[in-house]
Amino acid sequence: MHDLLIHSCRTLTFDEDGRPAVLAEQNIIVDGQRISAIQPVSEGPVDAREVVDARGMLATPGFINTHAHAPMVIFRGLAEDVSIERWFNEFMWPLESNLQEEDVYWGMLLALVEMIESGVTTVADHYFFMDQAANAVTEAGTRAALGWAVFGDRGYDALAETADFVARWQGQADGRITTWMAPHAPYTCDDDFLRATVEHAKRLGVGIHIHAAEEMGQTRASLEKRGLTPIQVLEETGVLEVTTLIAHGCGLLPEDIELLARYRDHVGIAHAPKTYLKLGMGLTPILPLRAVGIPVGLATDGAVSNNTLDILESLRLMAMLQKHEARNPEVLTIPEALDMAFHGSAQALGMADRLGKLAPGYLADIILIDQSGTHCQPLHSATASLVYNNRAGDVQTVIVDGNVLMHDRRLLTLDKAEIMANVNRNMDRLSQRVPGRRIQVYNP
Amino acid sequence: MHDLLIHSCRTLTFDEDGRPAVLAEQNIIVDGQRISAIQPVSEGPVDAREVVDARGMLATPGFINTHAHAPMVIFRGLAEDVSIERWFNEFMWPLESNLQEEDVYWGMLLALVEMIESGVTTVADHYFFMDQAANAVTEAGTRAALGWAVFGDRGYDALAETADFVARWQGQADGRITTWMAPHAPYTCDDDFLRATVEHAKRLGVGIHIHAAEEMGQTRASLEKRGLTPIQVLEETGVLEVTTLIAHGCGLLPEDIELLARYRDHVGIAHAPKTYLKLGMGLTPILPLRAVGIPVGLATDGAVSNNTLDILESLRLMAMLQKHEARNPEVLTIPEALDMAFHGSAQALGMADRLGKLAPGYLADIILIDQSGTHCQPLHSATASLVYNNRAGDVQTVIVDGNVLMHDRRLLTLDKAEIMANVNRNMDRLSQRVPGRRIQVYNP
């Protein structure tokens, strides 16, 4: 008697070379937290305590959002059509001066609803009051890699508190929560502060999730101020000695890519294209990064720049924008885009041995996607549809760690109405910007 | 007793300067095909034969898709990750050598379902066997500006047949169908053929819908071959003397924009950004076009390049890509994006006196959009949400000419299951490419 049977789905699989294929009429068998077998329905009936009828559905690994500030959904729509300087200094950081602990709890829950509804099963989140975010993840049943963001000017005690969070939550929620050190960026954390962060990370055996070379202006400013690129600063301060997740890398120079290639077995880049378009930041140089084997994963960033936490939109934008930049439709093909979405994102989080693939032994983070909608029909290509047609609303069922979190779009772990009511209760306070009051100044 | 009351919606309105605002708790009153009044619910009850409960919904004008080859949905997913030359010569034009009249009928119906489901009430369509497309539009109850596409090498009799289509269907379906001459492009129609097209258009009192300067390679080729840009060819052959709708203009030079400015009262550009990204075509120079008052409308193009007929995706991409190209987040603001989506698109079709606005006297093409979804909450900005958060699936109700075509996502005029069955029946034939057999050769 198995724990869970996902009955008669089409499954997205990848061969040895990472080429995707869709197999019809498969049974996915789950025991405990992991996939124990995937076999054709024709092999005969399977006994399981719980059965999900998946006829006609496409089963894929759950999506991984490699960089977000999920609780920021509470501010969405409040900072539009402004430069990155104004976005930080006049909007985001003044808004966040109003942030309270309970905002993070309700905001994280709202974000988790949105992510579950769009097929995201794991998020690498980088924000404040992260105990509340961890509580929300525990309730939701999703997987998360959490880091408590900190600026250098908060001092070493504050840094130590973020390290305490790491120790407190590492491996909690049946192992669904992992933790990271999360210094904000080289332009808001000085070298000694970054070195102290590395010490904490090494002591705790965790990685570092950090913004770096977000856009070329930051790289230029860093070169002017000290003759080093932000990536060279990461190397210089020892950050790259531990597992490192870098957002966003739109300001990477060729020499940065060469440098990062030396650390590619434990360094990844999070790519959040909608933010880059909306803030005019340029784009992560995905093709040269992948050419030297540096993992690049998909991300949404926070909803004040990205507006939604829709990873399918990130996937589509990522593929299309690389074609656009290269003025070459033959780059970033559908197989490559899917490899990045699943394997690449798992690699960027250092979890490619257990996530990003439907295969025996992998964690049972599985989503079922409906491709019967008018916008996908006729379905000449299931993989093309997944990249270019399917919408977040097509995600029907979401399973994490072998537990069903959403079934036929019905949420099973969270109370959406209660969460929305609690977020909306504080809308007026959250939308207030106090001029001159801000948690940080953007001056890279 | 009025014909239709849309009860208690929020309405998207535009002031004299085109700035959008959202008014709460409004009643929209429709008599016959037109909006007769919009007034606050507080003004008192309204008697109407039919009432649509729109509490909490955002009412906007129906979306206008200014350039599509809608029946091509039957081929979607069949030409991925290929250059524009291969897209035409190895995929699209060989695939279309299998096209039969009934494919256009069922394909157009499928496309109309997809467009109704995503809030598109008017489409400017450019394809073959257009009597079948017109039949489909008549049944669906939508509005359409239809042109029968023709290549110059088909000869003058074929051109005359497309003119007969224009005469046959102009003003049909209670005026919902208008017709256009639809020569394919300057690179597939020689000057005399274009001049003959202009004669037909003038005689029939209709406009010309044509591809021109689709990408810069075409402009360069035209300059090399004959010393004129494609836009100069349109002027030279008299095309610009009549109402002209130009797709896509990614290859416009500054001198083309100067030239087009002289015709801006009756010439518009259709912008289909997803196609441009996927085929690496560059982008329409929207900012300089709008700076000199040339109307630019939103479009999806056909689903073999755009993959879907999702105009909300076009809207979002259009705004974001202009920010990206300018590396300036302050351009193409939300008010401008909405002005383009509604007024600009109506202008591009020469129908701004009756479409693109919720106001007394305008045609009653109205959609209701749900902004209560997790991905829009909390709703700090309804207009930001409309541009950056709302998805096609959030369109709940669609009204054209005062008739409800979809209510709470239930289609009232079309049988989706029957349409899908008929499209899927021919999938095998439709996916066959016969090498060397094609309807045209791409060699601009």
Q: Establish if B423 touches chain A: CB-CB under 8 angstroms.
A: yes
State the burial class of residue B138 (Cβ atoms within 10 Å of its Cβ: 0-12, 13-18, 19+): middle
| The pLDDT of residue A431 | 82
Segment B346-360 mean pLDDT: 98
> Which residues of chain B have a CB within 8 Å of the CB of A428?
none
Q: Establish if A87 touches chain B: CB-CB under 8 angstroms.
A: yes
What pLDDT digit, counting tens, does each position of A269-292 carry?
A: 999 999 999 999 999 999 999 999
- Is the pLDDT at B436 greater than 80? The verdict is no
Segment B280-291 mean pLDDT: 97
User: Are B329 and A391 inside 8 Å of each other by CB?
Assistant: no
- Is the pLDDT at A432 greater than 90? The verdict is no
- Is the pLDDT at A22 greater than 90? The verdict is yes
Cβ neighbours for A265, distance < 8 A, ≥ 6 positions apart: none
Segment A200-217 mean pLDDT: 98
| The pLDDT of residue B127 | 97
The CA-based angle A356-A360-A362, given to 5 degrees, is 35
Choose among A283, A290, A248, A253: nearest CA to A269.
A248
| Helices A156-169/A191-204 angle, 10° precision | 20
| The pLDDT of residue A135 | 98
Residue limits of CATH 3.20.20.140 in chain A: 63-348
> How many CB pairs below 8 Å do chains A and B form together?
177
Segment B258-281 mean pLDDT: 98
Nearest-CA residue of chain B relative to A76?
A: B380
List phi, psi (to 5°) of B396: -100, -40
Between the alpha carbon of residue A349 and those of residues A205, A206, B270, the distances in Å are: 14, 11, 42
Q: Measured between CB atoms, which of B277, B328, B330 is closest to A323?
A: B277
Neighbours of A15 (CB within 10 A): 9
Interface mutation vs chain B, best among A76, A95, A304, A381, most B CBs within 10 Å: A76
User: Are A377 and B420 inside 8 Å of each other by CB?
Assistant: yes
User: Are A274 and B378 inside 8 Å of each other by CB?
Assistant: no
- Is the pLDDT at A359 greater than 70? The verdict is yes
DSSP-based three-state secondary structure for B183: strand
pLDDT level of residue B390 (50, 70, 90 thresholds): very high
pLDDT level of residue B13 (50, 70, 90 thresholds): very high
Q: Establish if A310 touches chain B: CB-CB under 8 angstroms.
A: yes
What pLDDT digit, counting tens, does each position of A72-98 carry?
A: 999 999 999 999 899 888 888 888 888
Mean pLDDT score of chain A, rounded to an integer?
A: 96
Segment B262-273 mean pLDDT: 98
What pLDDT digit, counting tens, does each position of A383-425 carry?
A: 999 999 999 999 999 999 999 999 999 999 999 999 999 999 9
Segment B61-83 mean pLDDT: 96
> Quick one: tokens of A114?
């949105």
| The pLDDT of residue B429 | 84
Please tell me the CATH code under which domain B2-61+356-410 is placed: 2.30.40.10
Between the alpha carbon of residue B7 and those of residues A430, B42, B349, B406, the distances in Å are: 31, 11, 30, 16
> Hey, which residues does A7 pair with through a beta bridge?
A53
- Is the pLDDT at A266 greater than 90? The verdict is yes
Choose among A2, A9, A113: nearest CA to A367.
A9
DSSP E strands, A314-407 = 366-369, 395-400, 403-407
Residue A140 half-sphere exposure toward CB, CA atoms < 13 A: 32
Segment A183-207 mean pLDDT: 98
> Which residues of chain B have a CB within 8 Å of the CB of A323?
277-280
What pLDDT digit, counting tens, does each position of B307-326 carry?
A: 999 999 999 999 999 999 99
pLDDT level of residue A428 (50, 70, 90 thresholds): confident
- Is the pLDDT at A61 greater than 80? The verdict is yes
What pLDDT digit, counting tens, does each position of A116-168 carry?
A: 999 999 999 999 999 999 999 999 999 999 999 999 999 999 999 999 999 99
Q: Measured between CB atoms, which of A77, A384, A389 is closest to B384?
A: A77
Task: Give percent of chain A above pLDDT 90.
Answer: 91
> Which residues of chain B have a CB within 8 Å of the CB of A330?
81-83
- Structural contact between residues B357 and B12, judged by C-beta atoms closer than 8 angstroms: no
pLDDT level of residue A69 (50, 70, 90 thresholds): very high
DSSP-based three-state secondary structure for B218: helix
- Is the pLDDT at B433 greater than 80? The verdict is no
List phi, psi (to 5°) of B270: -100, 130
Q: What is the C-alpha to C-alpha distance for residues B229 and B227, in angstroms, rounded to an integer?
A: 7
Q: What is the C-alpha to C-alpha distance for residues B235 and B237, in angstroms, rounded to an integer?
A: 6
| The pLDDT of residue B435 | 65
Q: What b/e sequence results for B226-262 when a residue is b if at least 16 CB atoms lie within 10 Å of its CB, and e otherwise?
A: eebbbbbbbbebbbbbbbbbbbbbbbbbeebbebbee
- Structural contact between residues A232 and A238, judged by C-beta atoms closer than 8 angstroms: no
> Hey, which residues does A180 pair with through a beta bridge?
A147, A207
Choose among B32, B28, B37: nearest CA to B55.
B28
Question: What CATH number does domain A63-348 carry, 3.40.50.620, 3.30.70.20, 3.20.20.140, 3.30.1330.40?
Answer: 3.20.20.140
What pLDDT digit, counting tens, does each position of A235-249 carry?
A: 999 999 999 999 999
Q: What is the C-alpha to C-alpha distance for residues B179 and B207, in angstroms, rounded to an integer?
A: 8
> Which residues of chain B have a CB within 8 Å of the CB of A388?
77, 80, 278, 307-308
Interface mutation vs chain A, best among B313, B374, B385, most A CBs within 10 Å: B374
Residue B8 half-sphere exposure toward CB, CA atoms < 13 A: 6
Q: What is the C-alpha to C-alpha distance for residues B417 and A144, in angstroms, rounded to an integer?
A: 40
| The pLDDT of residue A429 | 84
Q: What is the ipTM of this complex?
A: 0.96
DSSP B413: S
| The pLDDT of residue A110 | 98
- Is the pLDDT at A43 greater than 90? The verdict is yes
- Structural contact between residues A22 and A58, judged by C-beta atoms closer than 8 angstroms: yes
Give domain A2-61+357-409's CATH architecture. Roll (2.30)
| The pLDDT of residue A435 | 64
Q: Chain A 345-384, CB below 8 Å of chain B: which residues?
A: 374-375, 377-381, 384
Segment B138-150 mean pLDDT: 98
Choose among B180, B187, B385, B348: nearest CA to B271.
B348
Q: What is the C-alpha to C-alpha distance for residues B186 and B218, in angstroms, rounded to an integer?
A: 10
User: Are A391 and B392 inside 8 Å of each other by CB?
Assistant: yes
User: Are B389 and A76 inside 8 Å of each other by CB?
Assistant: yes
Overall residue count recorded for chain A in this entry:
444
| The pLDDT of residue A17 | 86
**Measured between CA atoms, how close is B230 to chain A, in angstroms?**
21
What pLDDT digit, counting tens, does each position of B322-341 carry?
A: 999 999 999 999 999 999 99
Tokens 């049944």 belong to: B139
> Quick one: tokens of B345?
């698109």
- Is the pLDDT at A213 greater than 70? The verdict is yes
pLDDT level of residue A18 (50, 70, 90 thresholds): confident
Nearest-CA residue of chain B relative to A276?
A: B324
Lowest mean pLDDT among A411-420, A422-431, B72-81, B158-167: A422-431
| The pLDDT of residue A437 | 77
What pLDDT digit, counting tens, does each position of B179-237 carry?
A: 999 999 999 999 999 999 999 999 999 999 999 999 999 999 999 999 999 999 999 99
Whole-prediction pTM value?
A: 0.97
DSSP E strands, B228-372 = 244-248, 267-271, 296-298, 366-369
**Measured between CA atoms, how close is B14 to chain A, in angstroms?**
19
The CA-based angle A395-A401-A404, given to 5 degrees, is 45
User: Are B374 and A114 inside 8 Å of each other by CB?
Assistant: yes
> Which residues of chain A have a CB within 8 Å of the CB of B77?
379-381, 384-385, 388-389
